[in-house]
Structure 1
Amino acid sequence: MPIWYINHSPNILSAAEKQQLAKSITNIYASNGLPAFYVQVHFIEDAPGTAFIGGEIHAKFAGITIYHLARAFKSDETKQRFLSRVNEVLNPVFEPKGMDWEYFITEASRDLWRMNGLVPPEAGSEGEKEWVRVNRAVKY
């Protein structure tokens, strides 16, 4: 499952922008066959005076941590294509605001992942297709 944590400066993103970002991020994955419910996007607004960049408070910053568990990148081409899609989602929201942002992706071992106590079905399997269809973790 992909989990995104978007830590950001106070009052920089509206509720509507957060909703649109969450939908666009989910689409990156769902358009490639992952169940939409796999995707978690958490917005964490830093309280004033609690986040520092280079030792200074930054009024327009987002730090994004992306965890991947459901899939792993198999090639440099796949990585670059994914990074391009991330930029296509983030840049139109952050650039017009004059924001600075940084993100990184970490991949974790799939065998350490469970949903509702279930081992998620293999990519492209009938079990995964069922999870896509019902949009939740069910026994398969």
Structure 2
Amino acid sequence: MPVWYINHSPNVFSAAEKQQLAKSITNIYVSSGLPAFYVQVHFVEDAAGSAFVGGEIHPKFAGITIYHLARAFTSDEIKQRFHSRVNDVLSPVFEPKGMDWEYFITEASRDLWRMNGLVPPAAGSEEEKEWVRVNRAVKY
């Protein structure tokens, strides 16, 4: 399960931009074989005057927290490829708006994760392929 929390300055994204960005983020993972329903993207708009960067209100900022549980990075090459894909998704949206952004990724142990009370199937297994096919958690 990748979960993204995009905390951002007020009024920087339209509903259509949020949906397109969520689809682009989801595609990063789907192209690697994960079920689309694993991916969560939450846009959290900061209230005016409630978020600060360097002690000052920043009018166009996004702080992004990314949690990974479904897969772990197994090499520096894979990490760099992922960073490149993230930048390819974020830069075309954020740069034209004159935004600054920062993100970090944290990985958690897969054995601490459940979906609808179920242990998610092993990566690449037939059970996971079924979850991809039906795009939801099903008993196996």
- Bucket of the pairwise TM-score, normalised by the shorter protein: over 0.9
SS in 2 for 1:114: coil
Aligned partner of 2:33: which letter?
Answer: G
2:112 aligned residue = 112
**1:6-26 deviations in whole A, cap 9, x for unaligned?**
000000011111000000000
SS in 2 for 1:6: strand
Equivalent runs, 1:36-75 vs 2, <5 Å: 36-75=36-75
Q: Give 1:28 deviation, angstroms.
A: 0.2
1:14, 1:104 → 2: CA distance? 24
1:98 aligned residue = 98
Q: Give 1:75 deviation, angstroms.
A: 0.3
**1:84-140 deviations in whole A, cap 9, x for unaligned?**
000000000000000000000000000000000000000000100000000000001
1:118, 1:3 → 2: CA distance? 18
Q: Give 1:52 deviation, angstroms.
A: 0.4
Q: In the comparison of the two structures, how many residue pairs are matched?
A: 140
Structure 2 runs not aligned, ≥5 long: none
Aligned partner of 1:93: which letter?
Answer: V
**1:48-102 deviations in whole A, cap 9, x for unaligned?**
0100000100000000000000000000000000000000000000000000000
1:17, 1:89 → 2: CA distance? 12
RMSD: 0.3
**1:23-59 deviations in whole A, cap 9, x for unaligned?**
0000000011000000000000000010000010000
1:76, 1:66 → 2: CA distance? 18
TM-score (norm 1): 0.99
SS in 1 for 2:12: coil
SS in 2 for 1:93: helix
1:123 aligned residue = 123
1:79, 1:57 → 2: CA distance? 32
TM-score (norm 2): 0.99
